[in-house]
Structure 1
Amino acid sequence: MNTLISRIALGVCVLGLAACTVGPDFHRPAAALPDQWEAGHRGQATPLSTTPSQIVDGALDPQWWNVFHDAELSSLIARVAGASLDVKAAGARLMQARAARRVSGADALPSVEGTASYQHARSSQNGLLDVAGLGGKHDYNVWQPGLDASWELDLWGRVRRETESADASVEASADLRRDVLLATLAETASDYLQLRGVQAQQQIVQQNLEIARHSLALTKIRFADGVATRLDMAEAAAQVSTIEAQLPLLDNQHARLVNALSFLMAAPPHTLDSELRAAAPIPALPSRVPAGLPSELVERRPDIRVAEAHLHAATASIGVAVGDFYPRVTLSANLSLQAMHFGDLDQWSSHMFGVGPALSVPLFEGGRLKGQLALREAQQQEAAIAFQRTVLNAWHEVDNAMSDYDARQSHRDKLAEAVEQDRIALDNAQRQYVAGATDFLNVLSVQRDLLGTQQALAASSTEVAVSLVTLFKTLGGGWQTAFPTSSKRADPGGTARVSGERDHDS
């Protein structure tokens, strides 16, 4: 009875120890973010917020590209999300992290392996050991199939901490894939908007080229009538050539941007030539841009989630280092059959077994364990600092993107006013030239001014649209739709999609 009670008490103690997990537990760090964005970025009457498109409080649409209401852009986004080689490479890295997690998690389970051996041998006649009892005069055979099993009792939670760290590393890899997807979608939208901006500049140059050619034809007529001079003729012809010289460079920019979009969707050069050859206007901006709340950045920004996962992994690694200071208990067992004749293996007398625990206690490691613990603690401190820096950087990026969006809109509006005034000036200069009230040099000067401001306006309009894409990127929108999740942290593997269909782990 006393023996039974002792065994029960020992079992209770072992179970109690098994529930112990050494090392610090991870707690999500607080993110130092404001409750709301600055008033100047939310559509109130401030010097930086007087433009038609206003940044306001409100839920951020994960499919932020829909604010442009451009079917071609939405189509490109969907295809790039599913075909991007960068996203696929990030998915492969996620698969590696999951495979490493399975390797790490195997330490928490028993290890069982089957063995089988056969040996044809003869003992020495002059040696000390004659296992066959044949005096070393005859050969013999030994047949031995069996099973070996071992299991480390995770009394201190060292293995559990290893698994926890591996789980956090998988989370980090999943969020890195989200980060790659977010950057890829933003780059797709940016390249597309720049393409439309180049097409707008091409149209502007063509329109001004027609004006310049008309002026040249008019100058030739006036020269034939003896009203214009050869200087007027030369200046008009030079104006035409100067404008024509811009077309090859714009054509080159157009081709490079089309190829950039083709590369993003893992297609050869010129794949999208026919699809994107027709010019289309720069998409209009929304009147209101919901930016969400600052506190939502922690969940939306993949880089913050990556930093948090790294901090979690570093915290769990401390527990692994602490667990190395404690004894390790391993249960091992083996069951096998051994016989000198194969036909005797099915007899009970051929069986053999062994079972029992093994204890290993670190007595002297030359400071290795203490050094390892100090290393893990320092790495955790670095990860905590990196998390704080990532959050602060995200705050700065969003604030800068909002200011940039407001400022670029103001810059665009002033250029629009300049274009209107230059048009009026050119019309008056042409009328005065025809009437003989001014020379042709004035007409050329005003036309150059109009071309410059028109191109600057097209470039500025493009920059405004691209800055809105940058704002959505800094807010961390986009990946939630491409990689839908069934839980807060889950992110199954698979090919990126923006259809809302859930990926499945293989």
Structure 2
Amino acid sequence: MTAGRILSESRPVKRRRLGCFAAALLMATGLAGCDMAPSYKPVKLVYPANWEGQGVIRYGQPDDGAPRGDWWKAFGDPQLDALEDRALKANPDLQASAESFMQSRDVAAQVAAHLYPQVTGSAGGEKWKGSAHRLWRGAGSTGPTYMSSEQYSGAATWEPDFWNAIRNRTLMAKQSAQQQAADYAVARLSLEAELAWDYMALRGLDAQDAVYRDSIRYYRLAVQITQMRLQGAISAGIDVSRAEAQLYATQAAETDIRARRDVMEHAIAVLVNAAPAAFHIAPLEVDDLNFPDVRPSAGLPSTLLERRPDIAASERAMAQANRAIGVSRAAFYPHVTFNAMTGFMDNGFDLASLSNSMYNFGAQAVLPLFQGGIRRAELQRSWSQYRQSEDEYRSTILSAFQEVEDGLTNVGRLKIETVQQNSAVQAALRTQTMTMELYTGGLTNYLDVVVAQQAALVARVALMQVKTRELQSKVTLIRALGGGWSAKNLPEYKQIRPFKPLQYDGLRTPKGVSGISVSTDPANANLSRQP
């Protein structure tokens, strides 16, 4: 009777326990959603209504003339287009940045996994034999010398996110992935601009080399003229020496230009994933830079915040710091975990029997009562980190404004300087021609000719340098304006997960998102391809 009463009383107790467990689950579901993170609003900055720099901007039309997509194609150079395309496909630094973004997506998936129950299964069996004469086994003992056990079970653990600590960590991981996407955009834009800048420098050196070669031909003729005059006893030997010195100095300067061009060519080779020894760009033979007059527009200051990937990356860092405050706040509240296990165990193979079943379930709540100020220090540090991210965000925006102002100023001023320097070249060439005519007519000495020749050469080289700087300033301005990038290009939260819930194939190379993909092209290993 006693045993019967105990059995009859244990069933209601079990039901009450199951009811309490279910109630705890419902309470956990209800409490999950208490977000401890403060409401996030990016800092509002007051910026000037218009730009102060004298550039090519037209106010009130922020999208008119703004860089778009493949912005380098506006320069109309097929060689540059091919180099940019090759660099975007094969540059190792850019590919490494893409891999960093892919890894951040995986980190976000790992963090998000803690929102769900962690379920495991196990199965096992063992057989054990003891010695019949083992210690403490009495004489005539009939105890077993063999034991066996077979079992399988399943277990589940779940941490209800009462205070949104896990959700905030998940959002931080997703925002970090967005920041990595913005960093990739920064790396891509930097690569595009650096390659275009180097290419303009290379073509500028080609133009200078053509100027030097043209001057060398002229100086050789001058040497011949002075030698002929010396033979006719019309002029002194010093004129020949001066002409030869001018020729040799110009040849040396031209050699230096070629060396600088080779070094610039090597830099371009590395950017396009080629070994410098196997890479060559044919030089141009004209003493001018014939590129279209590209006129990028800056628009309004407010649009710059949407165009610059570095500003977007800084803003995403600020958003993460905001969520970190919620994680620090959640540490002040109980940490609750639910767990359950069930299965079967038997000393044979009769496992699927109710009498051989086993289970346990429970809940645990942990609340730190005294830690010497650890949680308060962490919370205070989180607030400080958030304010630091605001300061860095403001600094990034100020730097962006400065770069655009510098670009507008340089583009405008260098355009004027190009016109002025071109006038100087025309005047210097006229002077050079007149002094040579006067010299051959015996109306002046050769020193005047040398001075005129030097002035003409310096003016022509300076013109090519100014034109090169003008082209490079346009590239720099386009880079400062974001190169056609937009904050809309950042991946959305739902796009960050790198695989589907039941996907087990295609994990080696995840699919790209928001224009970011990794390359497994074996041709990238060939560093000897010509442009």
Structure 1 length normalisation: TM-score? 0.87
2:51 partner letter: W
Q: Paired residue for 2:210? A: 203
CA separation of 1:477 and 1:96: change in aligned 2, threshold 3 A? same
CA separation of 1:146 and 1:246: change in aligned 2, threshold 3 A? same
Q: CA deviation at 1:42?
A: 4.4
Specify the SS of the correspondent of 1:149: strand
Instruction: Tell me if the contact between 1:34 and 1:295 (Cα under 8 Å) persists in the aligned partners.
Output: no
- Pick aligned residue for 2:319 from 308, 312, 323: 312
Counterpart CA distance in 2 for 1:261 and 1:82 is 15
Q: Map Cα deviations across residues 113-135 of structure 1 (whole Å, 9 max, x no partner).
A: 112233444799999xxxxxx98
CA separation of 1:10 and 1:381: change in aligned 2, threshold 3 A? same
Q: Paired residue for 1:50? A: none
Instruction: Tell me if the contact between 1:401 and 1:467 (Cα under 8 Å) persists in the aligned partners.
Output: yes
Instruction: Tell me if the contact between 1:171 and 1:489 (Cα under 8 Å) persists in the aligned partners.
Output: no
- Pick aligned residue for 1:356 from 362, 383, 403: 362
Q: Paired residue for 2:440? A: 434
Q: CA deviation at 1:223?
A: 1.1
Which deviates more, 451-460 or 345-354? 345-354
Q: Paired residue for 2:462? A: 456
Q: Paired residue for 2:54? A: 40
- Pick aligned residue for 2:273 from 263, 266, 270: 266
Q: Paired residue for 2:226? A: 219
Instruction: Tell me if the contact between 1:300 and 1:476 (Cα under 8 Å) persists in the aligned partners.
Output: yes
Instruction: Tell me if the contact between 2:98 and 2:516 (Cα under 8 Å) persists in the aligned partners.
Output: no
Matched, 1:417 2:443: no
Q: Paired residue for 2:238? A: 231
Counterpart CA distance in 2 for 1:495 and 1:396 is 38
CA separation of 1:441 and 1:244: change in aligned 2, threshold 3 A? same
Specify the SS of the correspondent of 2:150: strand
Within 5 Å, which residues of 2 pair with 1:293-304? 293-304=300-311
Q: Paired residue for 1:151? A: 158
CA separation of 1:328 and 1:501: change in aligned 2, threshold 3 A? closer
Counterpart CA distance in 1 for 2:176 and 2:441 is 78
Q: Paired residue for 1:406? A: 412
Specify the SS of the correspondent of 1:145: strand
Specify the SS of the correspondent of 1:41: coil
Q: Map Cα deviations across residues 288-328 of structure 1 (whole Å, 9 max, x no partner).
A: 43223221221211111111010011110111111111112
Could you tell me which runs of 5 or more consecutive residues in structure 1 were left unpaired when the two chains were aligned: 45-54, 128-133
Q: CA deviation at 1:393?
A: 1.3
1:254 partner letter: R
Matched, 1:321 2:315: no
Instruction: Tell me if the contact between 2:53 and 2:405 (Cα under 8 Å) persists in the aligned partners.
Output: no
Could you tell me which runs of 5 or more consecutive residues in structure 2 were left unpaired when the two chains were aligned: 1-15, 499-508, 520-531
Counterpart CA distance in 2 for 1:117 and 1:65 is 65
Specify the SS of the correspondent of 1:153: coil
CA separation of 1:106 and 1:200: change in aligned 2, threshold 3 A? same
1:405 partner letter: V
Q: Percent identity?
A: 27
Counterpart CA distance in 1 for 2:53 and 2:29 is 57
CA separation of 1:495 and 1:389: change in aligned 2, threshold 3 A? farther
1:375 partner letter: R
- Pick aligned residue for 1:67 from 65, 69, 74: 74
Matched, 1:381 2:395: no
Q: CA deviation at 1:11?
A: 6.6
Q: Paired residue for 2:351? A: 345
Instruction: Tell me if the contact between 2:169 and 2:323 (Cα under 8 Å) persists in the aligned partners.
Output: yes
Counterpart CA distance in 2 for 1:114 and 1:270 is 59
Q: Paired residue for 2:3? A: none
Specify the SS of the correspondent of 2:346: coil
Instruction: Tell me if the contact between 2:66 and 2:484 (Cα under 8 Å) persists in the aligned partners.
Output: no
CA separation of 1:214 and 1:184: change in aligned 2, threshold 3 A? same
Matched, 1:21 2:38: no
Q: Paired residue for 1:48? A: none
Q: Paired residue for 2:450? A: 444
Structure 2 length normalisation: TM-score? 0.83
Q: Paired residue for 1:369? A: 375
Q: CA deviation at 1:66?
A: 2.6
Give the length in aligned residue pairs.
483
1:412 partner letter: T
Within 5 Å, which residues of 2 pair with 1:110-259? 110-121=117-128, 138-259=145-266
